[in-house]
Each structure stands twice: as structure tokens, then as C-alpha cells.
Amino acid sequence: MEYEQLKLSNQVCFPIYAASRLITRAYQPLLEKLDLTYPQYLVLMVLWENDRVSVNEITHKLILNTNTVTPLLKRMEVQGLITRKRSEKDERSMVISLTKKGLNLQEQAAEIPMQLAGKLDVDDLSIDEIIDLRDKLNHLIQAIKN
Amino acid sequence: MEYEQLKLSNQVCFPIYAASRLITRAYQPLLEKLDLTYPQYLVLMVLWENDRVSVNEITHKLILNTNTVTPLLKRMEVQGLITRKRSEKDERSMVISLTKKGLNLQEQAAEIPMQLAGKLDVDDLSIDEIIDLRDKLNHLIQAIKN
DNA sequence: AAATTTTATATCGCGTGCGATATATTTTTA
DNA sequence: TAAAAATATATCGCACGCGATATAAAATTT
């Protein structure tokens, strides 16, 4: 019995899953120099755009759950990248802020997107194709969320 | 100082990372009925296409490392989905085979792709868009691999 | 105002995912 | 053929990622 829909080559989900891991692998040597993991880098990107946010805002922006983000932030606190303080307005809420060290990393991190692009074979992939890919993925994300 | 390239909304990598997790989440309730995780489902897809393969072949097809696949296969062996035997031709190699239970799951699993498609908001995403997305992702995967 | 519900964060357990490393077997080289 | 290199799998440690559950504070209802 043949089930065409069960072939790996016919899947959309598998390439997304594989691409996600390949990208994390590609980032890894670049982020290692800053002593960061990819999820930690994402948290910093959120904070560089908007410092002093709640755990809740971070989970929403990164589409992660608290049980992932809380330990992640605790590790980042130990590394001296961020601080965690209870909000005075709402004692339930945690305010996450950049330390000087976390803020200063931004300058070095700014080099990373270009360095990563260098890892892609330009013959295989154009800028237009990447932008189209990004937009279609955002469509897919919306379609799953709905 | 503003770094446009560090904004989440300008990233391609983040949507891939987010989409990957959202897809795994979408699969989860469907796979739960078969008592499978997404990576286990992927291993079965490999075996349904081609039974009696080595660990090496599985790692290559799924683009995973041995240190991920070996424990994964051991858990699947405990669940009675597969068997693991040393190859007679090459004692280093492990031959992974489907059990009857593993083989029989194929019929139920054949329903999953259609069920998953039902979770996507059709207004947001057309079939053509999905196929184009799949092809562009495969381009990206090749571009990273090179 | 007291009781109930909601919201925000944290904890626990388990399954990945991977860098680094180990072990055994096969292949290649000297 | 003995030594060295390559190949296949396994083990260890750590960081996610998430379902289930807990706890405390705030908001809502009664």
C-alpha cells in the first residue's frame, strides 16, 4: 500500500522543521563568540527593540510558553545579561531589563545577520526569494494561529 | 542607535523557527492519539517508505545527529514500534526494522496530513502558496548545506 | 467586602537536539 | 600484515520546548 501523503518529500512541515534546525546550527558558531544561544539572542532582540518588558510580552513576541521563557531568563540573569524585578504596579508581573553587558552586546550582534547571509550559497537563493519566503511563512504562522 | 537588521520583524530565521514550533504543536493532538511524538512520526515515515535501514540513513534523511536519533530509536524500541539489530554484513551498523505494530500504524497515520490541513485557515493560505513555500524552503536548505 | 475567576509567573517531568567524547569495527595506508 | 585513519553507533551534559500543575496577586462577581 502506498500513501503518497506520507512521503517525506511531499511534506511542507518537514522542510520547515529541518530548516529551523539548520538555521540554528548556522547561527551557533556566530553566537558562540558572544556566549549566546539562539533563543537567548531572540530575547535580546526583543529587549534591544524595547527594554523593560514583562515575561508575558516576551512569550508573546517569541511565541514561546512561560515554562520555556522563565528558565531561559534565569540563565540570562546568571550570565549578567538581564535583570528580573517584580513590577511595583503589579506584583505578579516581572520586569525584564537589559544590563549594561546585555545592551553593549547589541553592537557586536549587529554584525551577525550579514555574517549569516554569507553562509548561504547565493547561487541557490536570491534576496527576493528570501523575502517571499519570509512573507509566506508569516502567512502560514497566521493560518495556524487562527 | 537603531539596527534595522536586528528587528524581529525583519528576520527570516525567526518565522522559520516559530513556524516549526507551531507546526509541532498542531501535530501534537493528532499524534497523541497514536502515542507518537513528531520526531517519532518522522522516523516512521522513513521506515514506511523503506524498511530495514541503518541509523545512518535515518540521520541523513531527517538531518539529525546520532546523539538525537539513537535515544529516539531506543524509546521507539521500548514502545514496540521498531526493532534494532546489528547488521551481519557490518557489525558497526544497526538495522532498524518496523514491528507489526509500527507497520500497522501507517494506516491511521495516513489520515494525519489531511487532518492537519484542516487546522489551517484556508482563507489565509492556498495550496499553491504551500507548494511554493515547500520548494523555497528546500532551496534554503540546500543553500545552507552548501 | 468576601468569594470566585482571571492573570502572571514558576515548577516538574520528559523528549528532543546537539557539541564533545568514547568505543568498536572496517577500511586504508605504510 | 601491522598501524593508522575512517566509519557507525553510543554516551554524557546541557539547553531548550512544552503539557500539566502550582502559587500568588489582581480583577470581577456576588
Query: Is B31 within 7 A of strand D by CB distance?
Result: no
With helix as H, strand as E and coil as C, how does A50-102 read? CCCEEHHHHHHHHCCCHHHHHHHHHHHHHCCCEEEEECCCCCCCEEEEECHHH
| Measured CA B59 to C1' C10 distance, in angstroms | 36
Region of residue A105 (left: phi > 0; alpha: psi -120 to 50; beta: else): alpha
Which cell numbers hold the place of B7? 528587528
Beta carbons of A102 and A36 less than 8 angstroms apart: no
Q: What is the pTM of this model?
A: 0.94
Residues of chain A contacting residue B106, judged by C-beta atoms under 8 Å apart: 1, 3, 6
The 10s digit of each residue's pLDDT in A19-45 is 999 999 999 999 999 999 999 999 999
Beta carbons of A62 and B22 less than 8 angstroms apart: no
| Measured CA A63 to C1' D29 distance, in angstroms | 32
Task: Please calculate the CA angle A24-B13-A83 and round it to the nearest 5 degrees.
Answer: 75
pLDDT score, position B29: 95
Residues of chain A contacting residue B13, judged by C-beta atoms under 8 Å apart: 23, 27, 116
Q: With bands split at pLDDT 50, 70 and 90, how would you rate the model's confidence at A10?
A: confident
Residues of chain A contacting residue B3, judged by C-beta atoms under 8 Å apart: 48, 106, 109-110
φ, ψ for residue B58 (rounded to 5)? -65, -45
pLDDT of A3 > 90? The answer is no
Which cell numbers hold the place of B135? 520548494
Protein residue nearest nucleotide D24, by CA to C1':
A92
Please state the length of chain B: 146
**Percent helix, strand, coil in chain A (nearest 5)?**
65, 10, 25
Is there a contact between B120 and A6 if contact means CB atoms under 8 Å apart?
no
The 10s digit of each residue's pLDDT in A59-101 is 999 999 999 999 999 999 999 999 999 999 999 999 999 999 9
Is there a contact between B140 and A109 if contact means CB atoms under 8 Å apart?
no
Beta carbons of A50 and A61 less than 8 angstroms apart: no
| Measured CA A1 to C1' D15 distance, in angstroms | 41
Could you read off the pLDDT tens digit of each residue along chain B, which spans 146 residues? Answer: 678 899 988 889 999 999 999 999 999 999 999 999 999 999 999 999 999 999 999 999 999 999 999 999 999 999 999 999 999 999 999 999 999 999 999 999 999 999 998 887 777 778 888 899 999 999 999 998 86
The 10s digit of each residue's pLDDT in A94-116 is 999 999 999 999 999 999 999 99
Query: Is B84 within 7 A of strand D by CB distance?
Result: yes
Q: C1' nearest to CA of B57: which nucleotide? A: D8
pLDDT score, position A1: 67
Is there a contact between B144 and A120 if contact means CB atoms under 8 Å apart?
yes
